[in-house]
Structure formats: structure tokens, C-alpha cells
Amino acid sequence: MRASKGVGKRNLIFKSVVVMMAFGLLSGCSMFGGKEEASQTVEPPVEKIARFTGEKSKVIPYVYTARKELSLTFNGMGDEKMMTQILNELDANHIKATFFLPGMRVAEEPNIARDILARGHDIQNNTLNQLDMKKLSYDQIYKEIELSNEVIKKETGAEPHFIRTRSGDYTDDVRLAAAHLGMDGVVTYNINPKDRDMKDAKAIGDYVKRYISRGGIVSLNTDINPEVIPSIKLIAKAAEDIGYKFVPLSELVKNGGERKPLEQIPGYDAVKVNPNYQNAKYKLVYKADTNKKQVALTFDDWGSDKTVTKILDILAEHDVKATFFLRAAGVENNPNLARAMVEGGHDVANHSYSHPVVTTLTPEELQEDLVKAHQVITEAIQQQPVMLFRPPTGVVDDQTGKVIAAVGYHNIAMYDVTTLDWDNKNKASDIVNGIMTKTENGSVILLHMLDDIHTIEALPVALEGLKKKGYTFVKMADLIKE
């Protein structure tokens, strides 16, 4: 039986006594959308639930992982026609997704929920009625989650382990109730194309393509915008282009890891504010003094998953290890990408937090920026970064050199080979020619991982060319130790 929008038009056959109980338990709230129906409803006393006193459930906006995986999730449960179209599109594009279903809709049309499971997708808890949790008491929140769990399990056999509210927002009471009920987490998202705003399929697909990330959780709705259906093909293409795979949320979480708090990571405090910088000693390292045909390949700044992953893939194909100098503001928004660099065998180092010209900052501002960047990168990769700092734009003077050294960076990483690849006016051939003509024994080669430049095109050609000349590649910290 298909449910229509108006309360007066509904003719529901409740499949569960639990759902019928919910009508009375949710004091002051209609089970069809939160509107008061006091004149039509006789409400029994609300069951009192003792507030949970243990730790709140964890919040999961994304999963910490360097694997090329993410999850496509859906909220709500549309009518049979729309749900069938969504499921068919997922099948056609070989995506296994996660559906956060309202318990009431599962009770109304359990066959839809069973079809979701039969096709290999996850089912999780979207609360019983998708009410605004901020307006409910702890007792009501608990029952919204508990009753939805019971309905879903009764009608499908699946036991939800995660809870998401209709909007993705949550309160401390939601987290407490989820923990109280033994659930594994309160799920939000980090990629939200906002299909509620009635964007077309291309806009939805383009948004996911722009923000796609390892461990990401994409949030769409099943009952609002039919453009979600054709957007699935575009979303699948965005993942395929970068080599990422959509997996159900339960699998993503299982494959992921837990991030330690910053203070538990050795070396988190290796960089500290130090106002006594006047006599600090530093060294500007442009290249290594060596007779060996060794060079260091370095990349600065930050980019999207698509750009950085392509760089990592090229380096892996050519068995080259590099050093990445990271703009930490970007790392803060996508720590998994930084972790992927480390798991690929590369070094990561500090390129500042906000990418300022360091000579324009006061000593206090510069040191605070460096400390913040170090901590962000450390927490992202879960280990101490290599102790090198490269100043943005390569501009540094004697005073800033001392200021930088005083916080813990005695070697300031410069370079002797640069091709201005950050400027997209420079073609791939320009970048390759610059590298091939300037590189010598001990050279430090500077490239960038910015989007929409020609470095990716130039990189494999330059690597092959340098190898043919007999050069081998080492990480910068290893090169300057020679």
C-alpha cells in the first residue's frame, strides 16, 4: 500500500504493534510529520526512560581510511516507483549503498525495505517518524530510535547499527540514546549535494565529483527530488574516474580505523611556540652536495582527491617515493588524503597552515601558524611528520629563518629546480623541459599538486626521462642526510 502525503488521505495498515504504540508514546507529535493532532489523539502516559549516564555514541561524518572507498547513503523511503528506479540505477552502476529508513515507512511498505536488502544494500535507522530531535525529550528520542530498530528488524530481519536523523543534525541526547541502545554510531555526512534544493542531476553529480574523498559519506534523499535517480550514473562515473569504489557504510566503517587524539601521538609537540628566536640557527637547503645521481621529488600545497590520487598512482607505477609539503588548512578538511600519502611510503612535511608569505607575518603569527599546521598534519596522519618546513612562495629572510628554526625547523626546505608548474599557462612540455635541463646530482625538484595545472601530464614523462639519465629518487629528508 502506498502512503500519500496528507494525514487525511492516509489509510495505513500497521504491520507492527510497536508502531501503533509509537503514536501514543510520542507526546504532542503526529507520527506523520510532527504536527499536533491533539483533538484527534488520546495520548497515554509517556513511558519514562532513565537517562543514559555512560559515554555518548561517536559521531561519524566520514570514516578514517586511506583505502579508495566511500559510501553512498540515502535518507527516507520514497514511494514504490521512485525506490525501484533508484535501486535499478544502483544495480546498473554496480553500487552497493546504505539506506537510512524511517521505521514508519518500513511498517507501511515492508516489501520495499526487503527489496533493498535483497539487492545487497545496507539498511540503517532514520528514526521512526523523521521528527526534529531538537524538539523532543530524551524519552521521546529514545523511543523514536528504539521503535524504528524494532520495526526494521521485525519486517526485514536486519538489525540497524547506525542512526541518522532526517537532517543529519544531532544533539547530545541523540548520542546518549544511541549509546543507550547499543548502536555503533550517529552518522552524518561530509558530502552533501543538497538535492533538497531541487538541483538537477548534473549539479548533484558535479558536486560529488568536486568533493569526493576516501572514507567520504555522500548523503542523498529518496523522497524529495527525482533528479537523484539520473545523478547516480554521474556519481558512479566520478568515482570510477578516480579509481574509488562505493561500499556499504557498515563495510566502510569495518575497513576504517580510529584516530587517536592529538595528545596521544608521539611528536605532536615537536613544534612549539618559542619567542626566544634571536639566536636560533637555521639552514636553507636548496640541494644536496653529493656525487650520487640521486634527486628528491617534492610537491607543495594541496589539491582535490582526483588530482592528488592521480599523482600518487603515477608515483606508485614508477616506484618513486616523494616528499609532500602540505598546506594544513586543506589537510584539516581531508585528513584521509594525507594519510594515503604516508601509506604510499611518502614523507609529508609542513608548508604552513594558511599559505602566507612568511615575511609578511609577525614572529608570533608565523610561529602560531607553524604550530597549528604541525598539529593538524600530525593528527591527520597519526604520526609525526618529517621535520622540514618549506615557506610558501619560497620567500624567507634572516629573521623569519630564525623564527622558523626556533619552533623546531632547523632545516628549511628550499629547492633548486622549479618550473613554475603552478601557473597553468605553462604546458606539460614546458614543465618536462625545465626539469630535464635543470636537474643535477642532489637536486630538489619542486612541483605542485594543485588542480587544473599540467603537472600530472608532465610527471610520468619527466620520471622516465630522469631515470634514463641514471637518476634515482629519494625522499628529501634522506637526500640531505647523505
What would the pLDDT profile of 237-280 be if each residue is shown by its tens digit?
Answer: 999 999 999 999 999 999 999 999 999 999 999 999 999 999 99
DSSP letters along 37-90, please? -TTT--PPPPPP-PPP-SPPPPEESS-B--SSEEEEEEES---HHHHHHHHHHH
Q: Is the dihedral of CA 314, 315, 319, 320 positive or negative?
A: positive
Q: Yes or no: say if 293 and 325 are a contact pair by the CB < 8 Å rule.
A: no
Dist. CA 72–CA 249, nearest whole Å: 8
Q: Yes or no: say if 370 and 393 are a contact pair by the CB < 8 Å rule.
A: no
Whether residue 288 sits in one domain with residue 181: no
Q: Yes or no: say if 304 and 210 are a contact pair by the CB < 8 Å rule.
A: yes
Q: Count each helix (H run) and each strand (E run) in the chain, helices first.
A: 17, 16
For residue range 124-167, what is the model confidence (pLDDT) as tens digits?
999 999 999 999 999 999 999 999 999 999 999 999 999 999 99
The grid coordinates listed for 375 are 598539529
Give percent of the chain with pLDDT exceeding 70.
90
Asked if residue 63 belongs to a domain, the reply is yes
Could you tell me whether strands 245-246 and 69-75 are parallel, antiparallel, or unpaired per DSSP bridges? parallel
Domain extent at residue 102: 17-255
Whether residue 448 sits in one domain with residue 360: yes
Mean pLDDT of all residues in 4-9: 38
Asked if residue 229 belongs to a domain, the reply is yes
Whether residue 210 sits in one domain with residue 125: yes
Residue-level pLDDT at 143: 96
Residue-level pLDDT at 198: 81
For residue range 466-477, what is the model confidence (pLDDT) as tens digits?
999 999 999 999
Whether residue 237 sits in one domain with residue 145: yes
In 3-state terms the chain splits into helix, strand, coil percentages (rounded to 5) of 40, 15, 45
Whether residue 171 sits in one domain with residue 83: yes
Dist. CA 215–CA 97, nearest whole Å: 14
Whether residue 273 sits in one domain with residue 228: no
Dist. CA 411–CA 416, nearest whole Å: 15
Dist. CA 79–CA 239, nearest whole Å: 28
For residue range 367-410, what is the model confidence (pLDDT) as tens digits?
999 999 999 999 999 999 999 999 999 999 999 999 999 999 99
Mean pLDDT of all residues in 227-246: 97
Q: Yes or no: say if 418 and 446 are a contact pair by the CB < 8 Å rule.
A: yes
Whether residue 400 sits in one domain with residue 270: yes
Number of other residues whose CB lies within 10 A of the CB of residue 91: 13
The grid coordinates listed for 63 are 570514516
Residue-level pLDDT at 482: 56
Q: Which of these, 453, 458, 459, 463, lies nearest to 422 by C-alpha position?
A: 453
User: Is the pLDDT confidence value at 22 over 70?
Assistant: no
- Of 255, 272, 289, the one marking the end of a domain is 255
User: Is the pLDDT confidence value at 8 over 80?
Assistant: no
Average model confidence (pLDDT) across the chain = 91
Whether residue 341 sits in one domain with residue 286: yes
Whether residue 273 sits in one domain with residue 241: no
SS3 316: helix
Alpha helices in 305-414 (DSSP H): 305-317, 328-333, 335-343, 363-381, 398-407
- Of 231, 255, 279, the one marking the end of a domain is 255
Asked if residue 189 belongs to a domain, the reply is yes
Whether residue 414 sits in one domain with residue 332: yes
Q: Which of these, 68, 71, 119, lies nearest to 240 by C-alpha position?
A: 68
Q: Yes or no: say if 388 and 477 are a contact pair by the CB < 8 Å rule.
A: yes
List Cα–Cα distances, 81 to 78, 86, 103, 317, in angstroms. 8, 9, 19, 46
Confidence of residue 32 (pLDDT cuts 50, 70, 90): very low
Residue-level pLDDT at 199: 87
Dist. CA 195–CA 193, nearest whole Å: 6
Mean pLDDT of all residues in 400-427: 97
Asked if residue 64 belongs to a domain, the reply is yes
Confidence of residue 196 (pLDDT cuts 50, 70, 90): confident
Whether residue 402 sits in one domain with residue 362: yes
Asked if residue 6 belongs to a domain, the reply is no
Asked if residue 383 belongs to a domain, the reply is yes
- Number of compact structural domains in the chain: 2
Dist. CA 243–CA 233, nearest whole Å: 15
Asked if residue 2 belongs to a domain, the reply is no
Confidence of residue 48 (pLDDT cuts 50, 70, 90): confident
Residue-level pLDDT at 289: 95
Dist. CA 387–CA 408, nearest whole Å: 8
Residue-level pLDDT at 401: 98
Dist. CA 463–CA 482, nearest whole Å: 22
Residue-level pLDDT at 421: 96
Residue-level pLDDT at 186: 98
Number of other residues whose CB lies within 10 A of the CB of residue 460: 15
Dist. CA 261–CA 339, nearest whole Å: 15
Q: Which of these, 316, 464, 298, lies nearest to 394 by C-alpha position?
A: 298
Dist. CA 254–CA 251, nearest whole Å: 5
Q: Which of these, 104, 125, 117, lies nearest to 156 by C-alpha position?
A: 117
Confidence of residue 45 (pLDDT cuts 50, 70, 90): low
The grid coordinates listed for 437 are 635541463
